[in-house]
Amino acid sequence: MDNLEPSNKNIRRANDRSDKTPDLYRNFADIRLIDVEKDIKGSVYLKTEKALFIPKISNEDLQSAYEDCCDAIIMFEESQRDDLTKEFKILELIIKFIKNNNFEESLEPINLAIKNPLFEDISPLLHFLKGVVLFNSKTPNYEEVIRSFKNSGRLRTNNELLLLLRGLSFRYLNKYESAKEDFQKVIENHVQKELAFLGLGLIMSDQNNYQNAIKNFTKAINLNPKYDGAYNNRGNAKYFLDKYEEAIDDYTKAINLNPKYYAAFNNRGEAKYFLDKYEEAIDDYTEAIRLDPKYDIAYHNRGNAKYYLDKNEEAIDDYTEAIRLDPKNDIAYNNRGNSKYYLRKYEEAIDDYTEAIRLDPKYDLAYLNRGDAKLKLERYKEAIDDYTEAIKLNPKYDLAYSNRGEAKYFLEKYEEAIDDFNKAIRFDPNNYDAYYYRGLAKSKLKYYERAIKDFDEAIKLNPKHDDFRKTREIELQKLRKKLENIH
């Protein structure tokens, strides 16, 4: 959820089963509550943190830096060193850029100043400013941010802003102990403790320690009751604990504090999504998109909600826009394939699944889904190959065994099919399709009594499936004829 994120590489369990599977779904989150550069590559945590930290940069730290630069300029002006005074005015330009959040434009003059021997005395200050700029760039290199702060002289030991940004940089690099040290220094010695508690909460979330994450976010909120980012991230932690109603309360508080908080709208939509409130979720995703028309995650998530409302044409439009904004979004390709699958556009679905696999060769669900589409086209051997690949990637993938068994059934390989159905049932005793098709395979081998037992189990697991009951009656008639012939 942008953050996060909840999302998933799932959308359907296959075999035309419409039930939503939260556990499987969450395993492949599209929402990205945590990972910044993995899977969808657009963590809302990242966007949230930047939005929250940028305003702090223009306060005491930059004011002090600005004053240092001005002092240097005055010194040269008093010495009537016009040639040097002109060069030192570049510092005024740098500070002006940073104060206006024009970080990309300020990087070039900072690098020029660092290389100029005239600025040697304020080199630590320049490296500090460079670290701030790099952290807030569109594509931050966190290793370089840390290196710049390392060259910041005494600033690196106890500067509040430096400690906060360096702590976040360590966190993005998964160097959690170093990040904790920086955040702890802020808590012990500085004023902006709520930012440090937010950082600690983010680390706890990264490590799936959501209870402790909530405690840290709550400390941040207690210190600053108007901290919208803390509410949003606490909502994320509750979301991952399946406390969707509580998460919605936190997202709503974040939105009330900041009506332009597009990530909070997206995240609230996700919580509603998992409460099956699809229409309400769509409203939140739509507002997130209105606030940020380039928000690919919101398009993707809105597509998911429309998918579950059987609005597959509209879902395809949203997935397509998500792909346009992020061409490497493997999950969007998979999910668009799912919508095409249910519109019976199997060849087009296969193309999307294939692209998802190209982007992520270990995407087991995409192999499963592509196998399903090929199964519909009666390309059974190709389907078996895809299911087999899914099993290699996930040896306990019950659906892949079940569907591979179905393909083998249609190839009249009944014994092999039964072996696959057995494995599917072992890994998921509630897989009613596996019982049903195993019963069909046993019937083909004239094991009618065993077949009826499988149909009974399928009916028990899914009492509303009329086909199971009809097939059971047919098999029961076969069994009666068999017994009559014996007598």
400-487: what CATH class? mainly alpha
- Higher per-residue pLDDT: 195 or 89: 195
Is residue 107 scored above 90 in pLDDT? no
Is residue 485 scored above 50 in pLDDT? yes
Is residue 277 scored above 90 in pLDDT? yes
Euclidean distance between CA atoms 46 and 292, whole angstroms: 15
Break the chain into its structural domains and give their ranges. Answer: 1-41+276-394, 43-155, 400-487
pLDDT in tens, 414-457: 999 999 999 999 999 999 999 999 999 999 998 988 988 998 99
At residue 67, the pLDDT reads 57
At residue 17, the pLDDT reads 29
Locate 62 and state its tokens: 């930059």
Q: What is the mean pLDDT of the chain?
A: 82
Please name the CATH architecture into which domain 1-41+276-394 falls: Alpha Horseshoe (1.25)
Euclidean distance between CA atoms 424 and 418, whole angstroms: 10
Euclidean distance between CA atoms 56 and 129, whole angstroms: 13
> Would you call 308 helix, strand, or coil by DSSP?
helix
Which candidate, 344, 322, 346, 345, places its Cα nearest to that of 333?
A: 322
Q: What is the mean pLDDT of residues 326-343?
A: 96
pLDDT in tens, 115-125: 888 778 778 88
The DSSP output letter for 358 is: H
Is residue 397 scored above 60 in pLDDT? yes
Highest mean pLDDT among 97-106, 188-197, 240-249: 240-249
pLDDT in tens, 218-251: 999 999 999 999 999 999 999 999 999 999 999 9
By CB neighbour count within 10 A (0-12 exposed, 13-18 middle, 19+ buried), where does 416 fall? middle
Euclidean distance between CA atoms 370 and 354, whole angstroms: 7
> How many other β-carbons are positioned within 10 Å of the β-carbon of residue 358?
12
Highest mean pLDDT among 4-8, 11-15, 55-59, 206-210: 206-210
> How many other β-carbons are positioned within 10 Å of the β-carbon of residue 225?
12
At residue 126, the pLDDT reads 84
Euclidean distance between CA atoms 123 and 146, whole angstroms: 16
- Phi first, then psi: what are they for 478, rounded to 5°? -65, -40
